[in-house]
Structure 1
Amino acid sequence: MGDDCRLLDIDPLTFGSEPHLISLGNRVTVTAGVRFITHDGAAWVLRKSHPGIGVYGPISVGNNVFIGFNALILPDVHIGDDSIVAAGAVVTRDVPSGAVVGGVPARVLSRITDYEARALAKAELNTAVADRR
């Protein structure tokens, strides 16, 4: 885990059964209900023919990343720097740096620069509303 990370309302299930396969960069926020899934539990159906089979994959999260409420991050995924994973997203493949992803399965919704413009416009609007009080 990197520096200046925020782990908000996490629980024992957040980092799953193989937390050693998960790496977080600097300035990462992990919100409530997020699950990092580092294994393919469906391999269980193969255990009759292949006792003890386990299929695992690492998860890496870059720097300056926000992972929203109840997102699922699946094995063998890298989330690039300066990215946002929307609430409820199911991330099945790599997230490019500077992307906002969401949906099931997650797909790129916009660039972080587009999100920044929208957020700043709302922040200015909210400031104006607060000033009228």
Structure 2
Amino acid sequence: MQASAVDKVANYNCTILDVAKVKIGDNCFMAPNVAIYTAGHPIYPDVRSAMWEYGKEVTFGDNVWIGGNTVICPGVHIGSNVIIGAGSVVTKDIPDWAVAAGNPCKVLRMITEDDKRRLFRDEEIDDEAWAEICQKLGW
């Protein structure tokens, strides 16, 4: 299936606790078991026991891919053209064009032109598939 310019895909068991806005850009993909939390509770135990809750907006730019079993915490802003590795816990903002992963999630490296033909790790897209991709993209 060819993706259109505004596809958003949330795979199985996606959880979005949206007591605040959740903004998801175009061409975003969320693998299974992604959790997006906008809700939080006060730090101090007595205040927390009063059942207070707050909400902080979460945003994704365009062309974001979130790996499976990832948790996005309240107030996080993920830039455009970002990959978040599976199993990450994202507690802080992630800039545009980054590959980030871990618990807590940290930027591992930036995406560059060298990644254009990269498929998986150091494996490249084969010539036949690359020609098809270039044709679909009008390159």
Q: TM-score range by the shorter chain?
A: 0.7 to 0.9
In the TM superposition, residue 52 of structure 1 has moved relative to its aligned partner by: 4.1
Normalising by structure 2, report the TM-score: 0.74
Cα 1:75–1:115 shift into 2, 3 Å: farther
The letter for the 2-side match of 1:122 is: E
The letter for the 1-side match of 2:123 is: K
In the TM superposition, residue 41 of structure 1 has moved relative to its aligned partner by: 4.0
Distance 1:69 1:107 in 2: 16
In the TM superposition, residue 20 of structure 1 has moved relative to its aligned partner by: 5.1
Tell me the secondary structure at the aligned position of residue 123 of structure 2.
Answer: helix
Cα 1:108–1:116 shift into 2, 3 Å: farther
Q: Aligned residue for 1:39?
A: 39
Of 7, 14, 24, the residue aligned with 2:10 is 7
Query: Could you list the per-position Cα deviations for residues 23-71 of structure 1 after superposition, in whole angstroms to 9, with x for gaps in the alignment?
Result: 100000011111101122465833477x342122110000000000001
Task: Determine if contact 1:43/1:53 at 8 Å carries over to the other structure.
Answer: no
> Which piece of structure 1 moves more, 80-89 or 20-29?
20-29
Quote the RMSD (CA, aligned, Å).
2.8
Query: Could you list the per-position Cα deviations for residues 79-100 of structure 1 after superposition, in whole angstroms to 9, with x for gaps in the alignment?
Result: 0000000000111110000000
Q: Aligned residue for 2:134?
A: none
Q: Which has the higher helix share?
A: 1
Normalising by structure 1, report the TM-score: 0.77
Q: How does 1:51-130 map to 2 (within 5 A)?
A: 51-113=50-112, 115-116=115-116, 118-119=118-119, 121-124=122-125
The letter for the 2-side match of 1:104 is: N
Q: Aligned residue for 1:131?
A: none
Cα 1:26–1:47 shift into 2, 3 Å: same
Task: Determine if contact 1:70/1:89 at 8 Å carries over to the other structure.
Answer: yes
Aligned residues: 122
Cα 1:116–1:91 shift into 2, 3 Å: farther
Q: Which segments of 5 or more consecutive residues in structure 1 lack a partner in the other structure?
A: 128-133
Cα 1:3–1:118 shift into 2, 3 Å: closer
Identical residues among aligned pairs (%): 30
The letter for the 2-side match of 1:112 is: I
Q: Aligned residue for 2:135?
A: none
Cα 1:22–1:124 shift into 2, 3 Å: closer
